[in-house]
Each structure stands twice: as structure tokens, then as C-alpha cells.
């Protein structure tokens, strides 16, 4: 019986390696290239908008005297938050020895890298002159003998995003080395063979190599787990260290971290569901994976709801300015956006109290889609309403993003999907080495 179990599990491991190999070797039908071409439309719009901003400045945005931050900063916070779930699934679940992460963490890690690149772009484009970013932000003595302003949250963002991106890409690449070495002589493309041979770093799977690999991967996971907390905490400081009413709050660090994980998991759920159906991965990405992700999703939603309640209590029992801001958020010009985000982020996830709904693929996709919309709108409300509601009503001006800002936002989503599709074409979509190891060790 034991020998039969071993043979069965080895056969399962062969199936997963052959499945990923078929995706890598697939010449792709016309639909794949049609989708790539279709994604070029929002990318071209985004490039056009970026060109306008770089040549004419952020005067092309819909900003005004009171609302000096707008869609670019809202999108920056949104995309850096999306990138958090990849590190959560990959690093934290690895540290807790959660085997169910194996089929999905590669997709989540790739999502992280692309999202951080997009977030950095929005941070740079907000400056209006990103080619001066190195001159303004990097810590070196200028010709006047002056250092950069280390008390500026913009400097903190630079170091946080760069550190997170560097560690994320190393963690993503390091985890892929065994798969690259395994497939280097199996893919049918000579270019991929050369790429995998070079990127595999001579890994051939000896016992000693696996020992040092696993110890190193554990160190990367520990560092990455710490970055989950630190990066979005620093992003929250952009707001909480100011004296603007509605921003100056000690709850913002945990509020932003929970919101980042919340929106990121929603994005991961949509991504793995799409991959599950497009590449026929139902055998490896099961309802159990969706259900377990939805448990974390529900927990983060409850933390977000607690933060909303605390903000409401602060508004009611705070000073006149806090009450005015709360009134503006709940009944003002942007109140529809505010209440929509409350419904999608706090009420809609409560459906996951029911286990059947947590395991439903369709329900999970719909809820995660609405949550991502709601979380982007929440960031928009945080950024805009606190600035819009000035104490001097004569300088309060309503803000609505210009078409340039919308083009940048649409272009960012097109860029994400375009790069993700290219990743699927060139690299293993799942961590085959971990899945095979888990299957062989099954009893």
C-alpha cells in the first residue's frame, strides 16, 4: 500500500510539471495575441497622458488651490496596497508552513512586482518632472552642500518603495530558481533554454543545494514579512504626520496596512480565478484555496470596519473641524462615493460568514471586484475630501480628475495585464518544485 501511494503521488507530480510545461511550450492561439493588442489601447492612452504631463506639468490635472493631491496619489496608495497581498501569501504563509500557498504564490508575487512598479510611476508622475526625482530625493550632497529633507514623507516613500521592490523581486526570483533549472532542457524555445540556464545559476538539486536554498528562502521570507508591515505604515505617514483634519490620526498605520492586505487579496482572488479557468488549473487551484483566502479577506474587512467606526467616533466626539469633515464625508458632494465604499468594504464581505459563499468561485470573483473598486474610491475620499473641506469656504473648490488623470489610471490597469500575460508566456505560472514536493510527501 505504501509503495502504491508513493507511485500515485509521483504520478501527480509529473502531471503538474507537464501541465506547466504545456503552458510554457504553448504557441498560443490568436486569442492570446488579440488580448495583448486590445490591452495596447489603454497603454497608449496612458503613454499619451504621461507625455502630456511630462511636457506641460501637473497643471493638466484637475487639481486646484485646496485639493493639491488627487488621483495620482490615490492610485499610488491603491497600487502599493495591491502589492502587499503577494508578500503576505508568499512570505507569511511560508513562515507558518501553509502548504496550500504553493499553487498560487507565484501569481501573487508577480502581481506584487508589477503593482509596485505602477505605484512608483504614480508617485513620480505626481512630481510633474520625474527626471528630477533623483536630484530631489536621493541622499547625496548637492552643489550647495545641502542634503535632502529627511523629514519629508516623500523621502520615506522613496526608501520604502525601493526597499520593498528590491526585496520582492529577489524573493520572487529566488523562489523560481529550482523551476528554471528543471525546465531549462524541457522548453521548446532555444531563447527560453538560454534564459533558464543563465537564470538558474547552476542549480541542479543536490541535497546540499536544497539545504542552503531552503535556509536562504526562509531568511528572505522573514525579511519580506517585516516589509509587509513597514512599507504601508510608511505610506500612511504621508497623511498621519500632517496637520490636515481627517489625516492626522494614529489609527492610520494599522488602517492602511489592513486596507492594503484587504484590497490585495481581492486582487489575488480575481487573478487566480482567471488563471484557474483560462489555463485549466482547477485540479491545483481548488475551492479550498479560495475559501482560505476569503477567511483572511473577511478578517481584514472586520479590521477595516473597526477603523471606519473609530473614524466616526473621532468625528462625533472631536472638535468642530472633525465634525464638519465627518458631515462632509457622509452628506457632502462626495458622499455617494463614501457610502459606496462602506457598503463594498464593510457590508459585502460579511457574506463570507457563510462557508458556502466563501467557497463559491462566482461570488468570490464578484465580491473581490466590487471591493477593489470600493477600496480605490476609499483612497480617493481620504485624499480629496480632507483637502477639499477647507476652513475658509471661499477657497474650497470641488475636485474632479481631468481626462489626463483618467487615462493614466486606465493605462495602469492595461499595463498590469499586459506585463502579467508576458510573464505567463516566459516563466512558470506555478511553483512546480513546491507542489511536487508537497504531493510526494503526502500520506
pLDDT one-digit tens code per residue, 244-303: 877 888 888 888 888 888 999 999 999 999 988 888 888 888 888 899 999 999 999 999
Number of neighbours of residue 38 by Cβ within 10 angstroms: 12
CA within 13 Å, CB half, 46? 20
- Res 30 pLDDT > 90: no
Contact assessment for residue 269 and residue 365, using Cβ atoms and an 8 Å cutoff:
yes
DSSP label at 127? Answer: H
59 vs 70: CA distance, rounded Å: 12
- Grid cell 477639499 is found at 388
- Per-residue pLDDT of 386-423, as tens digits, reads 887 655 555 567 788 899 999 999 999 999 999 999 89
Contact assessment for residue 361 and residue 21, using Cβ atoms and an 8 Å cutoff:
no
Contact assessment for residue 227 and residue 163, using Cβ atoms and an 8 Å cutoff:
yes
238 vs 306: CA distance, rounded Å: 21
Cα–Cα distances in angstroms (integers) from residue 385 to residues 61, 113, 236, 246, 268, in the given order: 17, 30, 16, 9, 29
Confidence of residue 2 (pLDDT cuts 50, 70, 90): very low
Angle 46-396-406 from CA coordinates, rounded to 5° = 10
Cα–Cα distances in angstroms (integers) from residue 346 to residues 24, 267, 349, 353, 367, in the given order: 40, 17, 6, 13, 11
372 vs 348: CA distance, rounded Å: 12
- Res 8 pLDDT > 50: no
Map out the domains of the chain with their CATH numbers. Answer: 18-138+149-434 (1.20.1630.10)
Helix (H) or strand (E) segment spanning residue 254: helix 252-278
- Res 78 pLDDT > 50: yes
- Res 134 pLDDT > 80: no
Contact assessment for residue 332 and residue 389, using Cβ atoms and an 8 Å cutoff:
yes
What is the average pLDDT score of the chain?
Answer: 84
Helices vs. strands in the chain: H and E counts, helices first: 17, 0
Cα–Cα distances in angstroms (integers) from residue 326 to residues 148, 199, 246, 254, 360, in the given order: 36, 54, 8, 20, 36
259 vs 79: CA distance, rounded Å: 11
Q: Cα torsion at 253, 349, 227, 244 (round to 10°)? A: -20
- Res 13 pLDDT > 80: no
Residue-level pLDDT at 101: 86
Amino acid at each position: 500500500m505504501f509503495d502504491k501511494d508513493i507511485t500515485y503521488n509521483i504520478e501527480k507530480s509529473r502531471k503538474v510539471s507537464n501541465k506547466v510545461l504545456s503552458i510554457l511550450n504553448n504557441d498560443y492561439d490568436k486569442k492570446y495575441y488579440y488580448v495583448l493588442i486590445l490591452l495596447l489601447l489603454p497603454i497608449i492612452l496612458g503613454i499619451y497622458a504621461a507625455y502630456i504631463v511630462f511636457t506641460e506639468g501637473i497643471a493638466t490635472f484637475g487639481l486646484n488651490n485646496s485639493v493639491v493631491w488627487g488621483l495620482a496619489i490615490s492610485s499610488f496608495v491603491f497600487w502599493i496596497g495591491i502589492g502587499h497581498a503577494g508578500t503576505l501569501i508568499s512570505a507569511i504563509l511560508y513562515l507558518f508552513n501553509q502548504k496550500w500557498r504553493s499553487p498560487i504564490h507565484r501569481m501573487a508575487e508577480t502581481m506584487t512586482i508589477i503593482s509596485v512598479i505602477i505605484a512608483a510611476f504614480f508617485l513620480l508622475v505626481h512630481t510633474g518632472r520625474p527626471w528630477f526625482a533623483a536630484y530631489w530625493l536621493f541622499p547625496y550632497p548637492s552643489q550647495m552642500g545641502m542634503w535632502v529633507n529627511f523629514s519629508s514623507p516623500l523621502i520615506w516613500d522613496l526608501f520604502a518603495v525601493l526597499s520593498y521592490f528590491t526585496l520582492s523581486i529577489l524573493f520572487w526570483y529566488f523562489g523560481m530558481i529550482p523551476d528554471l533549472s528543471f525546465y531549462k532542457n524541457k522548453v521548446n524555445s532555444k531563447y527560453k533554454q538560454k534564459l533558464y540556464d543563465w537564470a538558474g545559476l547552476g542549480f541542479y538539486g543536490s541535497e546540499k543545494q536544497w539545504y542552503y536554498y531552503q535556509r536562504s528562502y526562509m531568511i528572505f521570507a522573514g525579511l519580506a514579512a517585516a516589509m509587509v508591515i513597514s512599507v504601508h505604515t510608511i505610506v500612511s505617514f504621508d497623511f498621519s504626520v500632517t496637520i490636515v483634519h481627517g489625516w492626522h490620526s494614529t489609527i492610520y498605520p494599522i488602517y492602511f496596512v489592513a486596507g492594503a492586505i484587504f484590497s490585495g487579496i481581492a486582487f489575488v482572488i480575481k487573478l487566480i480565478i482567471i488563471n484557474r479557468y483560462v489555463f485549466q488549473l482547477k485540479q491545483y487551484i481548488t475551492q479550498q484555496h479560495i475559501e482560505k483566502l476569503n477567511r483572511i479577506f473577511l478578517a481584514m474587512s472586520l479590521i477595516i470596519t473597526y477603523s471606519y467606526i473609530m473614524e466616526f467616533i473621532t468625528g462625533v466626539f472631536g472638535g468642530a473641524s472633525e465634525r464638519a469633515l465627518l458631515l462632509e464625508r457622509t452628506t457632502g458632494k462626495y458622499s455617494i462615493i463614501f457610502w459606496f465604499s462602506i457598503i463594498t468594504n464593510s457590508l459585502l464581505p460579511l457574506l463570507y460568514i457563510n462557508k458556502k459563499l466563501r467557497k463559491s468561485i462566482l461570488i468570490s470573483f464578484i465580491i473581490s471586484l466590487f471591493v477593489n473598486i470600493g477600496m480605490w474610491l476609499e483612497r480617493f475620499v481620504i485624499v480629496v475630501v480632507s483637502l477639499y473641506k477647507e476652513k475658509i469656504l471661499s477657497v474650497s473648490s470641488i475636485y474632479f480628475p481631468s481626462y489626463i488623470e483618467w487615462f493614466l489610471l486606465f493605462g495602469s490597469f492595461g499595463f498590469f495585464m499586459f506585463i502579467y500575460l508576458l510573464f505567463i508566456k516566459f516563466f512558470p505560472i506555478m511553483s512546480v518544485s513546491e507542489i511536487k514536493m508537497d504531493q510526494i510527501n503526502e500520506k
